[in-house]
Amino acid sequence: MHIKRAIERIPGGMMLVPLFIGALCHTFAPDSGKYFGSFTNGLMTGTVPILAVWFFCMGASIKISATGTVLRKSGTLVITKIAVAWIVAAIASRFMPENGVEFGFFAGLSVLALVASMDMTNGGLYASVMEQYGTKEEASAFVLMSLESGPLMTMIILGTAGIASFEPHVFVGAVLPFLIGFGLGNLDPELREFFGKAIKTLIPFFGFALGCTINLTVIAQTGLLGILLGLSVIVVTGIPLMLADKFIGGGDGTAGIAASSSAGAAVATPVLIAEMVPEFKAVAPAATALVATSVIVTSILVPILTAMWSKKMKGRAAKQSVKLETVARIK
């Protein structure tokens, strides 16, 4: 049986399939973890420790050395993505209730859901798409996108936008595993390789543990809204990213579209933020469901849109090249 291949055919499958299985367990047997206890309960309720190890390994996998082109490209995309999420948070907080929308079609939507879906790019998706439609330097730009992973950037956005307050030691605690991993990985390439191998392995485990916190009835209630959220992520972040890629990063906008997705790791952000700031616990379940749907929508549409835009740009470049050659011959 080729189970792994089947799962990988689904966009973000290694994260989303275990998450769905966990959600099934929580929906139809919510006390199964307590019933079995021991290691089974630990696996079903271990979202935070599993993510802590994953965050450490992510830091260890990042090389401090990179070419100027890679840094310019990745820095431009990362800063633009975070800036757009900050602006959205600042605006939404002025009109949206603190506990999110509670009634009507937009029930479940909150500032937390908006920020978590917009402030992280799916680095793996970006790299794979740009390897096909961009340059090697553009594909390597995902190196700094790893810095968006985890709750740190969401914390910074919520804090600086005046939506939530975090004690300094909480910030340190959120980023410390990443920094320690980053330091060790750059001090010893063998450690970087060793810990880096665990990144993909841990994804289905924290996906399952995260799913064990989700009730599928919430996803059913937020399904269409989640689809709209995914579309808004592509539009709201994609347009600024395209402009930044073209006028600052030196590209043609293709990398900007490729970066306009929601990261799979973002699904865990609402729960992690709620662990640190209890007032977000009420909106965390709905926010998690919305972000999960956004991940699926953007994972499907972003590669398609990137391919279409790349084809258009290459066609335009080919026509321009023909025109230049014709002018040169005439002269």
Residue 284 contacts residue 162 (beta carbons within 8 Å): no
Closest Cα to residue 285, out of 218, 222, 228? Answer: 218
Look at 154 and 256; give whichever has higher pLDDT.
256
For 266-317, how does the pLDDT look when each residue is reduced to its tens digit (9 = 90+)?
888 888 888 888 888 888 888 988 998 888 788 778 888 888 898 888 888 7
Closest Cα to residue 262, out of 15, 1, 3? Answer: 15
- The answer to which of 10-14, 18-22, 163-167 has the lowest mean pLDDT is 10-14
Per-residue pLDDT averaged across 258-270, rounded?
Answer: 85
Per-residue confidence (pLDDT) for residue 157, from 0 to 100: 87
User: CB neighbours (10 Å) of residue 16?
Assistant: 22
Q: Which residue has the tokens 């966990």?
A: 22
Could you tell me which residues come within 8 angstroms of residue 164 by beta carbon, excluding any fewer than 6 positions away?
A: 155, 158, 273, 277, 279, 280
Per-residue pLDDT averaged across 208-222, rounded?
Answer: 74
For 129-163, how does the pLDDT look when each residue is reduced to its tens digit (9 = 90+)?
776 777 666 665 665 676 666 677 888 888 877 77
Token couple for 247: 């006028």
Which of the four pLDDT bands, split at 50, 70 and 90, describes residue 60?
confident
Per-residue confidence (pLDDT) for residue 11, from 0 to 100: 57
Which of the four pLDDT bands, split at 50, 70 and 90, describes residue 115?
very high
Residue 262 contacts residue 233 (beta carbons within 8 Å): yes
Residue 99 contacts residue 283 (beta carbons within 8 Å): yes
CA distance 298 to 176: 30
Closest Cα to residue 250, out of 102, 75, 133? Answer: 75
Residue 272 contacts residue 46 (beta carbons within 8 Å): no
DSSP 61-113: T--S---HHHHHHHHHHHHHHHHHHHHHHHHHHHHS-TT---SSTTTT--HHH
84 pLDDT above the threshold of 90: yes
Closest Cα to residue 261, out of 87, 124, 154? Answer: 124
67 pLDDT above the threshold of 60: no
pTM (2 d.p.): 0.72
Domains of the chain (ranges, CATH numbers):
13-310 (1.20.1530.20)
Which of the four pLDDT bands, split at 50, 70 and 90, describes residue 40?
very high
